[in-house]
Structure 1
Amino acid sequence: MNESVVSEISFAKYIRNAFELEEVDIKTYSPLTLAYIGDAIYDVIIRTLLVEKGNAPVQKLHKRASALVKASAQVEMFHAIKDELTEQEMGFYKRGRNAKSFTSAKNASITDYRMATGIEALVGFLYLTDQMPRIIELMKLGLSKAEEN
């Protein structure tokens, strides 16, 4: 399926239409709300990649997914894509990074946790504004650069 078709049938838009939800101005969402949905979308993309690469025991899939979605991996993703972000995208990343969360990751520094929250907020923003092809473009870039290292 080409990217123009994907953007015409975005998952977020499909859900909004199916449940007759009104569109909300993206600027009204808190950065942590954007990170909340962005975390789920990021996870679905990683899990889809792993499952599509072949059937494997669920424990192995979970271990591989955890390695790719943990805070330090998301920090690597940010460093790989930061030069490709638009000013608006960087703004949503920074809003997420700077948000004061009342939770923290078990196995990450505060800095890594905040940067990961920034990535998740960026993904949430892109998802809720029906920009799935852009999410995929950035994640492909980030994952390919991570494989090089």
Structure 2
Amino acid sequence: MGVTLMHEMRLGCELPGVMALAYLGDARHSLYVRRMLVSRGIYKSGDLNAASLSYVTAEAQAKMMRKIEPELLEDEREVYRRAANSTHLNKPKHRSVADYRAATGFEAVIGMLEWIGDNERLEHLLSLASDEIDKEQENENDTED
């Protein structure tokens, strides 16, 4: 069953279910991260894969969700809530349930924005989210020096 939200009223159509949105969001977020890393001059596939892990794990996505949550609009919050509370989630193997649920919600919000074509909003949230991981990495590098 799809989600009924303000975006639907603007589009005049029903959104896919939250798990389908999370599926789309996972792909869109992964593409964003890959483009970002290549634009930073990382070209070797092994280096790209290693660098992308800082952004695409459930733990990283949960951190990003906490960063963008205050900025979410009402319908984005509703999609997040529905996805995070979905009974269709698998049990995570190596992560906390809370991180896994937050990551699924993050992916669903990104998927919704991708589905409706709100690229400006999508880029804003993805940039804000990835900045959180960048700052964390800078802090880790500063403590190693």
The bucket for the TM-score relative to the shorter chain is: 0.7 to 0.9
The CA distance in 2 between the partners of 1:30 and 1:145, in whole Å, is 28
The CA distance in 2 between the partners of 1:72 and 1:140, in whole Å, is 17
1:57 CA displacement: 1.7
Letter in 1 for 2:79: F
Partner residue, 2:25: 38
Letter in 2 for 1:45: Y
Aligned-residue RMSD, C-alpha: 1.6
Partner residue, 2:60: 73
Partner residue, 1:84: 71
Partner residue, 2:107: 120
1:69-110 per-position Cα deviation (integer Å, ceiling 9, x unaligned): 101111111111111111111111111111123534433111
Partner residue, 2:119: 132
The CA distance in 2 between the partners of 1:93 and 1:135, in whole Å, is 14
- Scaled by the length of structure 2, the TM-score of the pair is 0.79
The answer to whether the 8 Å contact 1:80/1:146 transfers is no
Give structure 2 stretches of 5+ with no counterpart.
Answer: 1-11, 137-145
Pairing 1:8-23 to 2, within 5 Å after superposition:
none
**Matched residue of 1:54: which SS?**
coil
Letter in 2 for 1:89: E
Query: Percent of pairs identical after alignment?
Result: 31
Partner residue, 2:14: 25
Q: Once superposed, which parts of structure 1, at least 4 consecutive aligned residues long, lie more than 4 Å away?
A: none
The CA distance in 2 between the partners of 1:105 and 1:56, in whole Å, is 31
Give structure 1 stretches of 5+ with no counterpart.
Answer: 1-22
| Residues 104 and 132 of structure 1, relative CA distance in 2, 3 Å threshold | farther
Letter in 1 for 2:100: Y
| Residues 105 and 66 of structure 1, relative CA distance in 2, 3 Å threshold | farther
The answer to whether the 8 Å contact 2:25/2:109 transfers is yes
